[in-house]
Structure 1
Amino acid sequence: MQGLAGGLAGGLLGSLLFGGTGHASPGGFGGGGIGLMDIAILGLILYLAYRFFKKRREQNAAAASYYGTPPQADNYEGFSQTGGSYAYGTAHEPVRGYSQLEQGIDQIRRYDPGFDEERFKETVQDLFFRIQAGWMNRSLEGIESILTGEMADFFRREFESMRQRNVINRLENIAIRKVELAEAWQEAGNEYITVLITANLLDYTVDATTREVVEGDKLNPVKFKEFWTFTRDIGAPGWRLSAIDQA
């Protein structure tokens, strides 16, 4: 306690400890030893102090209940954040967060219980090679059904541009190194999955007439990473390419 109450308590305690010598006793308390009035005042001060700290504890408990406190454990070390969802963890048994990707996959399985991530990756690789072949042929024949309308329009414009320039973009010796699921979600009646594709290939452009290389290198492969996003109607069987972005 501080202030006046602290001085009173200090004086009375001094009287008790030092046998009435008056050390640190304001107002003459303890000049001739402790008396009944001294005991009464000391008791009042201790009672007020008890009420004060009890009230503080009740206020702190109420505030903690209102704002919420994390669950307590002997080895609790706080919380970690993964993908926007929080998970409490301990030093001995860490809890992995429930990521947005996992939430998206669970949403897809509600309407397609048989959805399998590994089988989907194989589907992505098949679509990848088909689309690359269509790109080299400068034609939507055989691939338009696996493209969204926006992507089909984009390809169509690129093919027309290559024909006007009389060039062909060659993609050869393609080797997919890894396919990783990056995002999954549902929106406006559609399902979306984005994958990160890591691959090596020969990427060069030739003159359509002379077959001479006008851009790129036909001898040294390049490594690239791209995000490919596929979509379908919720629960529908077929996936279509809706976007390609550089990693």
Structure 2
Amino acid sequence: MSDSSLIEIVILAAVAAFFIFKLRSVLGKRTGHEEKPDFDPFKPRPNDAEGEDDKVVQLPERGKGPRISQDELFEQGEPESAEAAMDDSPLAAGITQIRLADRDFDPVQFVGGARGAFEMIVAAFADGDSKSLRPLLANDVFSDFDGAIKDRESRNESLETTLIGITSVDLIEAEMQQKSAFVTVKFVSEQVNVTRDSEGRIVDGDPNEVTKITDIWTFARNTRSRDPNWALVATRSPN
């Protein structure tokens, strides 16, 4: 091989090495630590989300849906039992006054809640459960209920109450007194009430007798208070 051919080979090798170096500097080399590209082929495109709005459940605003608290008692309504509150009457006028003071007040929902409160209070009184009664009753009413429970216990007696059913729940009065709203409800229910002594002997009532009972209860709450709960403030029997 001539010296000139050897020189040409060396020159070509140098040129090839130069191009390989430049190519690697442009393309780079993978080390396993490269930053991930912003574009992810497995990431949903904006168009992939079309139609998802139909699956979104909007959370209810205050006063427009059920709440998770004691006042959910007053969030299940019975439209047919509150229709009488919508006519031109003193009751309707009273409800209007309450609505002006409390935009979240709904007589239909209130009726359902009143039914739930009635069932809870009747059951707690029969069980002698003053702790459960405390948040549902105003001070004076609680004192009366708690006193009756303690008097029953002092005689070693127990009360068995079976609520067969509630025949009707009707709003009969509504009014505002300063900042407080008062709503009176008439409950007609069928119950079996039996009082037994410490030996289990019946001292009052008949376990085979269903009695229709009418109770008139008044509930109240301060419309300026953040506490949404109503309390039982008065009880009476029909005239």
Q: Same fold (TM over 0.5)?
A: yes
Contact 2:125 2:133 in 1 (8 A): no
- How far apart are 1:242 and its partner, in Å? 0.9
| Aligned counterparts, 1:160-175, within 5 A | 160-175=150-165
CA contact (8 A) 1:105 1:185 kept: yes
For 1:97 and 1:113, locate their aligned partners in 2 and report how far apart those are by CA, in whole Å. 19
Long gaps (5+) in structure 2: 1-85
**Aligned residue identity for 1:100:** P
Alignment partner, residue 47 of structure 1: none
Distance 1:235 1:118, change over 3 A: farther
CA contact (8 A) 1:228 1:243 kept: yes
| Partners of 2:118 and 2:87 in 1: CA distance | 31
1:135 aligns with 2:125: yes
1:104 aligns with 2:97: no
* Aligned-pair CA distance for 1:186: 1.2
**3-state DSSP class of the match of 1:141?**
helix
Using the TM superposition, give the Cα deviation of residue 176 of structure 1 relative to its aligned residue in structure 2, in angstroms: 0.4
1:168–1:206 contact (8 Å) kept in structure 2: yes
Q: Please give the alpha-carbon distance, in whole angstroms, between the structure 2 residues aligned to 1:164 and 1:201.
A: 25
Q: Secondary structure at the match of 2:117?
A: helix
Q: Does 1:185 align with 2:191?
A: no
Shift of 1:97: 7.8
Question: Which residue does the alignment assign to 2:231?
Answer: 240
Q: Is the 2:165–2:190 Cα contact (8 Å) retained in structure 1?
A: yes
Q: For 1:241 and 1:135, locate their aligned partners in 2 and report how far apart those are by CA, in whole Å.
A: 13
Aligned-pair CA distance for 1:170? 1.6
Normalization by structure 1: what TM-score? 0.58
CA contact (8 A) 2:173 2:185 kept: yes
- Equivalent residue in structure 2 for 1:218, among 186, 207, 211: 207
* Structure 1 gap ranges (5+): 1-95
Measured after TM superposition, the shift of residue 98 of structure 1 is: 3.3
Which of residues 166, 179, 190 is equivalent to 1:176?
166
How far did residue 212 of structure 1 move? 1.7
Which residue of structure 2 aligns with residue 227 of structure 1?
A: 216
Higher relative contact order (CA 8 A, sep 6+): 2
Given the alignment, which residue of 148, 156, 160 partners 2:146? 156
* CA deviations over 1:184-223 (Å, ceiling 9, x no partner): 011142110001101101012111x222211011111100
Q: Deviations over 1:83-114 (max 9, x none)?
A: xxxxxxxxxxxxx9832111110011112223
| TM-score, length basis structure 2 | 0.60
Percent identity between the aligned chains? Answer: 26
Counterpart amino acid of residue 108 in structure 1: I
When the two chains are superposed, the root-mean-square deviation of aligned CA atoms in Å is 1.7
Q: CA deviation at 1:235?
A: 5.0
After TM superposition, give the deviation of residue 173 of structure 1 in Å.
3.4
Conserved? CA contact 2:217–2:232, under 8 Å: yes
The alpha-carbon distance between structure 1 residues 100 and 204, as it changes in their structure 2 partners (threshold 3 A), is same
Q: List per-residue Cα deviations over 1:63-86 (Å, max 9, x = no partner).
A: xxxxxxxxxxxxxxxxxxxxxxxx
Tell me: CA distance 1:173–1:149, structure 2 relative to 1, closer, same or farther (3 Å).
closer
Distance 2:117 2:87 in 1: 32
Contact 2:196–2:202 under 8 Å retained in 1: yes
SS where residue 196 of structure 2 aligns? Answer: strand
Structure 2 CA distance for aligned equivalents of residues 182 and 199 of structure 1: 16
Displacement of 1:133 in angstroms is: 1.6
Match of 2:194 in 1: 204
Superposed, 1:2-41 pairs within 5 Å as: none
- Contact kept, 8 Å, 1:108 with 1:235, in 2: the verdict is no
